Structure 1
Amino acid sequence: MLDPRRLRLLRDVASTGTIAAAAELAGCTAAAASQQLAALERDLGAVLLERSARSVRLTEAGRVLADHAGPLLAGIDEAERAVRDVAGLRGGSLRVAAFATAAIGFVVPALTTFRRRHPDVELRFTELESAEALPELRAGTVDLAVTHEYAPLSRPDLRGLDQRPLYREPMLLAVPRKDAPAASGPIDLADFAGAAWVAALTSTGFQAATEMACRAAGFEPRIETRVHSYPMALAMVAAGFGVALVPRLAATGQRGLVHLPIARPTGLVRQIYATTRTADRSPAVRHLSRYLVGALKTAT
């Protein structure tokens, strides 16, 4: 493989006419430069310079290589500048994914801060649920994903991925306002054993969340409505179709319902992570992770 330092010496010999002048440009002695040029000849198995006691000139092979050295070295210089720009957050790109409630709650503000402070980094965002985001991370099409897991449900396959815990949020019970208890304060899920329940679709991957919490409270929920998203669950609760467990970030204010804290722990919580590839040490990823923490403090 061609050594860029030796190529630079040959190029400078061609432009200055002497090894001494090329050595001065390289910041080394003429003897060291001569040794490097001789090593370049050995690497290629070709004579590049015709040396005499008083002068040096390029052979035909040397001229051909010197002509090619310019574009090659320019490409290397450009690559080095691009790497330095990325390392200094003056270039490159950052691809982010997050699920909807996190995106609305704190990811978008964090992205806004990132874009304001690092305008030269191309920022791309895709809304993805956690089950969709993890394969995209592994494939390299996403650099950072805000994901969630419901404890104590089984964990996903995280081989090759790192997770930074961002927020451990409790579950609340969304109840139609007309059915809310008169007394304020935390409630026991068992008090709603006879209610109709709104829960996730069985295709969401977390379909067992409501069932698990209710069973921990000592009853089997009567699920009459299944939905894909928390906004839809809240809409159904507000319309009087049942009650629903929702994480705190999803508990947005809506007319016709109230969000009640749960007194007796169900063991069910939602843990939110910043998930990245283990091998990725991108400065952009590190900075956005810090902005996510800051935006969460504001949101919660």
Structure 2
Amino acid sequence: MLDPRRLSLLRDVAATGTIAAAAERAGCTAAAASQQLAALERDLGAALLERSARSVRLTEAGRVLADHAGRLLTSLDEAERAVRDVAGLRGGTIRVAAFATAGTSFVVPALTAFRRRHPEIELRFTELESAEALPEVRAGTVDLAVTHEYIPLSRPDLRGLHQRPLYREPMMLAVPRNLSPADPGPADLADFATSPWIAALTSTGFQAATEMACRAAGFDPSVDIRVHSYPMVLSMVGAGFGVALVPRLAAVPQRGVTYLAIRRPTGLIRQIYATTRHTDRSPAVRALFRCINDALARTTSR
């Protein structure tokens, strides 16, 4: 591997015509510069300079290497600036993923704040459910994913990943107005044992989560409708097709829907994480994590 410092000396000899002038640019003595150039010749096994008592000239090999040295050193300078820009949050790209509820409630505001603070960093976002996002983070195609798990359901494969807890949210019971109890206080799931149930996100285990919560209350739910998004769940509830469990962040105002807290804990909660690669120490990822925490705090304090 050629030493960039020696290449820089050769380039400066070509530009200035003397070893002394090249040494002055490098901030060393002429003798030290001459020794470094001789070492470069030994590394390559070729004469690069024609020396005389009063002057020095580049050989043909020296001219070829000096031309290449200029381009190589420019590329090295650009690489160093790019790395320093990324480390200083002045450049680079960060790739983000989040599931829909997190995206609409606090991730989009977090991305907006991040872009305002660090406009030089390119942001790329993909909406992904947690089961899809985890392998993307592991593969390096996503840098930070906001993911969730339903506790106490079994945990996913987290090899090579690092998770930082963001928010632990309880489940709410969404009921249509015609089934809303006179007392809007906390309800027992058992009171809705004979009601039709709606389950969301079957591909990510929410069907199992609904069944677990209902069985803890002493019954097996009759799931008549299965959909893949909370807006659709709430539309079906509002239209009177059944009741559903929804996490607190998904319990947004919806026509025809009443949200009830659950009186007796079911043991079911949704834990939200910021998931990154275990080895990732990117300053941009750390900065985005802070933006996400801030946006989430504002969301949950309302």
- What residue in structure 2 maps to residue 3 of structure 1? 3
Contact 2:93 2:122 in 1 (8 A): yes
Contact 2:86 2:92 in 1 (8 A): yes
For residues 41 and 148 of structure 2, the distance between their equivalents in structure 1, rounded to whole angstroms, comes to: 58
Contact 1:176 1:257 in 2 (8 A): yes
- What residue in structure 1 maps to residue 35 of structure 2? 35
- What residue in structure 2 maps to residue 198 of structure 1? 198
- What residue in structure 2 maps to residue 244 of structure 1? 244
1:1-300 to 2 correspondences below 5 Å: 1-200=1-200, 202-300=202-300
For residues 161 and 32 of structure 2, the distance between their equivalents in structure 1, rounded to whole angstroms, comes to: 47
Q: Deviations over 1:148-177 (max 9, x none)?
A: 111111111111111111111110010112
Aligned amino acid, residue 61 of structure 1? A
TM-score by length of 2: 0.95
For residues 33 and 265 of structure 1, the distance between their equivalents in structure 2, rounded to whole angstroms, comes to: 77
CA-CA distance at 1:227 after TM superposition: 1.0
Aligned amino acid, residue 214 of structure 2? C
User: Residues 275 and 216 (structure 1 numbering): CA distance in 2 closer, same or farther, change over 3 Å?
Assistant: same
The secondary structure found in structure 2 opposite 1:150 is strand
CA-CA distance at 1:273 after TM superposition: 0.9
Contact 2:94 2:123 in 1 (8 A): yes
For residues 31 and 270 of structure 1, the distance between their equivalents in structure 2, rounded to whole angstroms, comes to: 70
Contact 2:98 2:147 in 1 (8 A): yes
Contact 2:199 2:206 in 1 (8 A): no
For residues 53 and 207 of structure 1, the distance between their equivalents in structure 2, rounded to whole angstroms, comes to: 88
Contact 1:204 1:228 in 2 (8 A): no
**Structure 1, unaligned stretches of length 5 or more?**
none
Contact 2:196 2:222 in 1 (8 A): yes
CA-CA distance at 1:201 after TM superposition: 5.2
CA-CA distance at 1:279 after TM superposition: 2.1
For residues 192 and 206 of structure 2, the distance between their equivalents in structure 1, rounded to whole angstroms, comes to: 21
User: Residues 252 and 20 (structure 1 numbering): CA distance in 2 closer, same or farther, change over 3 Å?
Assistant: same
Number of aligned residues: 300
The secondary structure found in structure 1 opposite 2:89 is coil
CA-CA distance at 1:54 after TM superposition: 3.5
The secondary structure found in structure 2 opposite 1:46 is coil
CA-CA distance at 1:27 after TM superposition: 1.4
Aligned amino acid, residue 187 of structure 2? I
For residues 28 and 218 of structure 1, the distance between their equivalents in structure 2, rounded to whole angstroms, comes to: 84
For residues 34 and 28 of structure 1, the distance between their equivalents in structure 2, rounded to whole angstroms, comes to: 10
CA-CA distance at 1:50 after TM superposition: 2.5
CA-CA distance at 1:202 after TM superposition: 3.7
CA-CA distance at 1:205 after TM superposition: 3.5
Contact 2:14 2:58 in 1 (8 A): yes
The secondary structure found in structure 2 opposite 1:203 is helix
For residues 207 and 54 of structure 2, the distance between their equivalents in structure 1, rounded to whole angstroms, comes to: 85
Q: Deviations over 1:12-56 (max 9, x none)?
A: 111112222211111122232222222212221212123334432
For residues 39 and 142 of structure 1, the distance between their equivalents in structure 2, rounded to whole angstroms, comes to: 45
- Runs in 1 of length 4+ with deviation above 4 angstroms? none
User: Residues 104 and 263 (structure 1 numbering): CA distance in 2 closer, same or farther, change over 3 Å?
Assistant: same
Contact 1:152 1:268 in 2 (8 A): yes
**Structure 2, unaligned stretches of length 5 or more?**
none
For residues 231 and 131 of structure 1, the distance between their equivalents in structure 2, rounded to whole angstroms, comes to: 20
For residues 103 and 164 of structure 1, the distance between their equivalents in structure 2, rounded to whole angstroms, comes to: 17
Moved more, 102-111 or 115-124: 115-124
The secondary structure found in structure 1 opposite 2:5 is helix
For residues 29 and 214 of structure 2, the distance between their equivalents in structure 1, rounded to whole angstroms, comes to: 80
Contact 2:177 2:238 in 1 (8 A): yes
* Identical pairs, percent: 81
Aligned amino acid, residue 88 of structure 1? G
The secondary structure found in structure 1 opposite 2:203 is coil
Contact 1:237 1:243 in 2 (8 A): yes
